[in-house]
A and B are shown apart, each in its own frame.
Chain A
């Protein structure tokens, strides 16, 4: 190997010195590449030794304020940050909550005025019939989609993330956990496909995170149960 190695190949050699015999042989005879190898090696060591940074001043007060404000389990959060008093509302949660509130209001209004809704809130059922504008229909469509996204997780594990939480599955049969993991993988793939075609879908994006977290917890539990470390 007459030419010098590029940094990417040297980097690969850093992690897997046995993998590329030609490069290793070149390294032994080329002082320039040897020096580059040592520089990359030092960079890697320096990165691994970077000290932690200081947490933002006043952050705990902001967190306490958010906790005090009431909210929570999966709802809208109002967070005061520092002295700026900034409002922070996660987009997907905001959208989901808005949908629920809107449709709930429509149904309550109909019941109050003598109208009828055949299906309970959250199902596609009669809902499109009770709205008139394009925006309303979009909201109801969103709610229906949210429900269609959530229902598979209920089937995978009762209560979704709660069932997959620590302690939720370790007492279960490992085989059952493995089967649930496999089904979760399928759902995750399906959601990723959905996001590939519609990357700005906030509901799919938020739900993908929930699924991935659930999957990770199940994998952890399964690893503990089988005595192997998955994470």
Chain B
């Protein structure tokens, strides 16, 4: 049964078809949300919420766009909405409070694990722009629309986020100017 058939059966309420759709896309949905929110438990709750919403709204999916595109956008919206709400209650992080996560010495190639750890340590505002642009491949216009900001703000946040990532990954050689080490990514 191909994906189109699965969607048709899922729309009719067939639980096994829903399960197969879940199997096909569960990793991607969870990953997108996990990277945006930077927290395992929250990502678990939100990905579950995203799936339930997806099945609730499946009757609205006609099939012109790829199911994955529709689903990942829905999942992203769930995560962004939660971040938007929680950011209103969280005090602004300062650079001085930023923890260091990685010990990437000069001759160490940074692993995926270190990258993921560093992503988790970014302030939420930086993280969501960096994830959407550099990981998920969104354009600044798309990001600006989703976040309700200007494309210029999205660019500025991205560059600050990358600079912060560099400090998190190799803090000792990412100063402004001066001799830099040879840490490699």
Q: Which residues of A contact B (CB under 8 A)?
A: 3-9, 11-12, 14-15, 32, 35-36, 39-40, 42-44, 46-48, 50-56, 59-60, 62-64, 66-67, 72-74, 77, 79, 81, 88, 90, 161-162, 165-168, 170, 188, 192, 195, 199-200, 205, 209, 212-213, 216, 220, 224, 231
Contact = CB atoms under 8 A, between A and B. Distances in A.
Contact of A3 (B55, B146, B177): B177
Given A9-B159, A167-B62, 19 more contacts: A4-B176, A4-B178, A6-B163, A12-B155, A39-B184, A39-B185, A40-B162, A42-B185, A46-B115, A55-B29, A55-B30, A60-B19, A74-B56, A88-B45, A165-B57, A165-B61, A195-B88, A199-B88, A209-B81
Contact of B112 (A14, A42, A50, A55): A50
Contacts of B92: none
Interface string B65-91: 100001001100100010011001100
A35 B177 CA distance: 12
B27 A56 contact: no
B27 A53 contact: yes
Contacts of A59: 22, 26, 30, 44, 47-48, 51
B3 interface: no
Given A43-B166, A67-B52, A73-B56, A166 B64 contact: yes
Contacts of A54: 27, 30
A62 B22 CA distance: 12
A48 B162 CA distance: 13
B99 interface: no
The dominant DSSP class at the A interface is helix
Contacts, number: 170
16 contacts: A4-B176, A7-B174, A7-B176, A43-B110, A43-B115, A43-B166, A44-B134, A53-B34, A55-B47, A59-B22, A60-B26, A74-B56, A79-B48, A165-B60, A170-B62, A209-B81
Contact of A90 (B49, B61, B170, B180): B49
A50 B135 contact: yes
A200 B51 CA distance: 26
Nearest to B69: A231
A112 B182 CA distance: 80
Q: Which of B55, B162, B182: most chain A Cβ within 10 A?
A: B162
Nearest to B137: A48
Contacts of A63: 22, 48, 51-52, 55
Contact of A64 (B19, B61, B77, B84): B19
B158 interface: yes
B52 A166 contact: no
Contacts of B45: 81, 88
A91 to B, nearest CB: 9
Contact of B115 (A6, A47, A72): A47
B85 A205 contact: yes
Contacts of B51: 59, 63
A162 B60 contact: yes
Given A8-B159, A66-B52, A56 B47 contact: yes
A35 B170 CA distance: 14
